[in-house]
Amino acid sequence: MKIRITADSTCDLSPEYLAAHDVTIIPLTVTMDGRDYTDGLDISPDDIFSHVDAGGDLPKTAAINVADYRARFKELLKTCDAIIHFNISADFSSCYANAVTAAKDLPVYCVDSRNLSSGIALLACEAVDMIEAGCEDPRLVVERVTALIDKVDTSFILDRLDYMYKGGRCSMVAVLGANVLRLKPCIEVVGGKMIVGKKFRGAYSRCLKQYVDDRLRNPDAVSGKRIFITHTGVSREDFELVKAEVQAHKAFDEILEVRAGCSITSHCGQGTLGILFIKK
């Protein structure tokens, strides 16, 4: 049995990984200045940065509708026997509900990742691993990845809060206070929702180190299979600092660098970086 893996464009997997493992992305719609764009195809994170830096409003993302999901599923099923599709958390979007409706009467298994960005990707990668190892039962794959959902550790440290303010996720008082105190907040995904975690203080590079030290403070509780370092665009120096700090805490089989897509970009802005992994 041939099983295909698909995911919403919010999963933030690299083009190289997608090509190497035959993973298909189904894109959300990004609306900016009243015009609709297809996530990852005719709009990029840099387009969003340029637009907002010029004084424009934050873009909005729209869920993939039922008709588009069903059309893509049917087309892909011409070349495979079953599909496992990974959705952004149902608490963030109606994508999962729409995908489930679209999959009715089709051999398509939809997974509510309860996550976003490379937190979704971690689950998709586990599914890919099982299929490439010879598993031909999509139900077993779904059972395995579903059991891992609560073990995915997703967080990001933010260098700036103006995007969060523009998106209505924090007040101007919080922005000004963070700037004065040089605070860099950590955003975590817990129970399918975003919450504010620890706040780190000081220069960005110093906060990055503190952030990694905090997230990997108990390396024995972390799976060493793979870790994502996902960011919206940071200096090479800062990325290498984070990578070295990760390696100092634990030896991972894979350290994957990913440039975050339009979803994380439009919510968090430049200078956002996260390490994402699965706990034991």
Work out the average pLDDT over 205-229: 97
Nearest to 3 by CA among 114, 77, 63, 57: 77
pTM: 0.93
Q: What type of residue is 181? A: L
- Fold classification of 154-279 is Hypothetical Protein Tm841; Chain: A;domain 3 (3.30.1180)
Backbone angles phi, psi at 81, to 5 degrees: -100, -25
Higher pLDDT, 212 or 48: 212
Work out the average pLDDT over 261-275: 87
Residues β-bridged to residue 186 = 157
Q: What is the pLDDT of residues 3-55, one digit of tens each?
A: 999 999 999 999 999 999 999 999 999 998 889 999 988 889 999 888 888 88
Q: What is the pLDDT of residues 78-136, one digit of tens each?
A: 999 999 999 999 999 999 999 999 999 999 999 999 999 999 999 999 999 999 999 99
Return the pLDDT at 129: 98
pLDDT at 64 over 90: yes
Work out the average pLDDT over 202-219: 95
CB atoms within 10 A of CB 243: 16
Return the pLDDT at 167: 52
Return the pLDDT at 174: 46
Q: In whole angstroms, what is the distance from residue 138 CA to residue 245 CA?
A: 37
Nearest to 84 by CA among 145, 39, 27: 145
Nearest to 225 by CA among 86, 117, 121, 126: 126
Map residue 153 onto helix, strand or coil: strand
Map residue 194 onto helix, strand or coil: strand
Strand 3-8 relative to strand 23-26: parallel, antiparallel, unpaired? parallel
Q: What is the pLDDT of residues 141-199, one digit of tens each?
A: 999 999 999 999 999 998 877 666 555 554 433 443 444 346 788 889 999 888 888 88
Return the pLDDT at 199: 87
Helix (H) / strand (E) element for 48: namely helix 45-53
Tell me the angle at which helices 236-249 and 204-215 cross, rounded to the nearest 10 degrees.
Answer: 30
Which CATH code of 1.50.40.10, 3.40.50.10170, 3.50.30.60, 2.40.50.100 fits the domain covering 3-28+63-149? Answer: 3.40.50.10170
Return the pLDDT at 159: 86
Burial grade of 151 (CB within 10 A; 0-12, 13-18, 19 or more): middle
Return the pLDDT at 184: 86
Strand 29-32 relative to strand 222-231: parallel, antiparallel, unpaired? unpaired
Measured in whole angstroms, how far is the alpha carbon of residue 186 from the centre of its chain? 15
Residue whose tokens read 């099982």: 130
The domain locations on the chain are: 3-28+63-149, 154-279
